[in-house]
Amino acid sequence: MLHVDLDQFIAAVEVLRHPELAGKPVIVGGRGDPTERAVVSTASYEAREFGVGSGMPLRIAARKAPDAIILPVDADAYTAASAEVMATLREQPGATVQVLGWDEAFLGVRTDDPEAYARAVQRAVLDRTALHCSVGIGDTLVRAKVATGFGKPRGVFRLTAANWLDVMGHRPTRDLWGVGSKVSQRLAAHGITTVAELAAAGPDVLVPEFGPRMGPWYGLLGRGEGAREVDDTPWVARGHSRETTFQEDLIAPAQVDEAVRELVADVLKDVAAEGRPVVGLTLKIRYAPFITKTTGKKIPETSDPEVVLAGALELADRIEPGRPIRLLGFRAEMAMPADARDGHTPTRSGW
């Protein structure tokens, strides 16, 4: 299995569009205005040297890299570039392709020389799109995904059962694909701080803490185990979400009510295009200065917009009164087709 990950994808696309930016610190986020509330979508390697990273408030990024060029997000351009990359991957001999997002995909191949195959993939992507990528090689999807990080930028790295613990054993659990800060803190409370310690942890520790499904799954992650086949079944969205960062905090209940109604209306447009009923709702609230809470509920299957709106407003009633709000987000989870792959893979972020 190969994991192909485009290097600094969004920034690289912008540099292709604006060649004069090559070698300069480039930050992409929001509408490109650091005086507005927005976060960094991506930063070029040159900008990262100043400590700029994805998810950072744009105004802080501008402070860290005062000479950086800050550009607005152009989703259409990134979607088009991604489509070219994925088309190239699908053209590789004998490859089964599982797309993970704009800038990454798994390839399942049969080859006696995976490193040579990986280099050929890199050349093919570069020749067609002028974009560079890194490739991780593994005997499981988890190992291939983690291996890519050691190959960046523009490199190839292999992780298998033979060298997994040698490479990863001493590293913190946070370095694993699918283990975020909260999970790593919960593991640390049980004395599990490294990948090797997680690999050795038994179900008697993991199941009481994480449950009968996630407990064993985290144990597998620690050992680098998991799926050994690339699944090219078309990805089907589990849900749709929208969020808005407000340039001025919302305080009045009428402002919150109006914002929630607008978010629900936008999300329901996406849901309607899917033709599947809604089964769950989540409201995301970011209070000033930067404290994020989420609240959600399951609902009986419905395609009635009024029922969804009523549920969303019910969640909004849980917002702490009088507390300034800088961001609201709404997500509607849909019923999944019986034959669909929902693309559930470990992730470091999302809601």
Q: Per the structure block, which two tokens stand in for 143?
A: 């190992």
Length of the chain: 351
Name residue 244's beta-bridge partners: 328
Catalytic residue set: 104
Give SS3 for 142: helix
Tokens 């990273």 sit on residue: 53
State the CB neighbour count (10 A cutoff) for residue 279.
Answer: 17
User: What secondary structure letter does DSSP report for 335?
Assistant: P
CA distances from 339 to 88, 98, 122, 139, 274 (A): 27, 16, 33, 26, 15
Within the chain, residue ranges assigned H as helices are 9-17, 45-48, 58-64, 75-90, 114-129, 141-151, 164-168, 181-188, 195-200, 203-223, 253-274, 305-316
